[in-house]
Amino acid sequence: MTGAPPPAGNGPRAAVDRAGDPTTGRLAQRQAELVAALVAGGPPPAGFAPGPLAATRAALLRKRAGEVARHWPLLAAGLGAGWPSTFADWAANRPTVGSLRDGWDLARALRERGALPPAGAEELVAREVVLRYDGRSTPRPRRLPAVARAGGAVAAQIAGRVRLLRPAPRPPAALPAGGDGVPDAAGSAAWISD
């Protein structure tokens, strides 16, 4: 499975140019190229057989999907059998920023597309009222009360206690009697918070 010749014209020039550098520089560069190819859509590093590289990329995405599902069980369950492919499509060229943030970013992306399942919407609003997440750095605890809405779900947090004020509407077949049936527009999350 080794020894495939480097694809013509696809050799990493930098690696060749740096061949005379201290060895750690060269190893560091080659490791960085491999990781970039696996998780960030980087070009395949010279000499690696494409089949095993693709299998590794797929295995990493499956593992990541499982870890994110552990942090976002309702989001994953809400997508059901579609979870692995939904996650993989979204994550293919996005390096992980940790399972909590990966799932959070995906939930927000699905909300923007109107594709967030009800259980995922409820999980998202419950998170949004507890932690403040700017999409770029580690979420931090909110010090003030907050309300969040997504996909029709509404949650509030006061003094650290979270209450789901309104569940996200289910498709009609699953709608419990007395459902209020006034869904918010997807992506209309609004904040009353610090």
Q: Which residues bind other proteins (CB under 8 A)?
A: 1-4, 6, 23-36, 38-40, 46-49, 51-53, 55-56, 58-60, 63-64, 66-67, 70, 95-97
Q: Please, what sign has the CA dihedral across residues 34, 36, 39, 44?
A: negative
Pairing of strands 146-150, 153-158: antiparallel
Rounded least distance, CB 41 to other proteins, Å: 11
CB closer to other proteins out of 51 and 82: 51
CB closer to other proteins out of 90 and 145: 90
Rounded least distance, CB 19 to other proteins, Å: 11
Rounded least distance, CB 120 to other proteins, Å: 20
Rounded least distance, CB 101 to other proteins, Å: 11
CA-to-CA dists, residue 26 to 15, 21, 29, 40, 50, angstroms? 7, 7, 5, 20, 22
List Cβ neighbours of 194 (8 Å cut-off, separation of 6 or more).
132, 142, 143, 144, 146
Rounded least distance, CB 2 to other proteins, Å: 4
Rounded least distance, CB 87 to other proteins, Å: 12
Residue 81 C-beta-side C-alpha neighbours within 13 Å: 0
CB closer to other proteins out of 51 and 160: 51
Pairing of strands 140-141, 146-150: unpaired
Residue that has been written with the tokens 């004020």 in this structure: 165
CB closer to other proteins out of 92 and 164: 92
CB closer to other proteins out of 52 and 114: 52
CB closer to other proteins out of 63 and 143: 63
Q: Residue 170: what residue type? A: R
Determine phi and psi for 120, rounding to 5 degrees: -65, -35
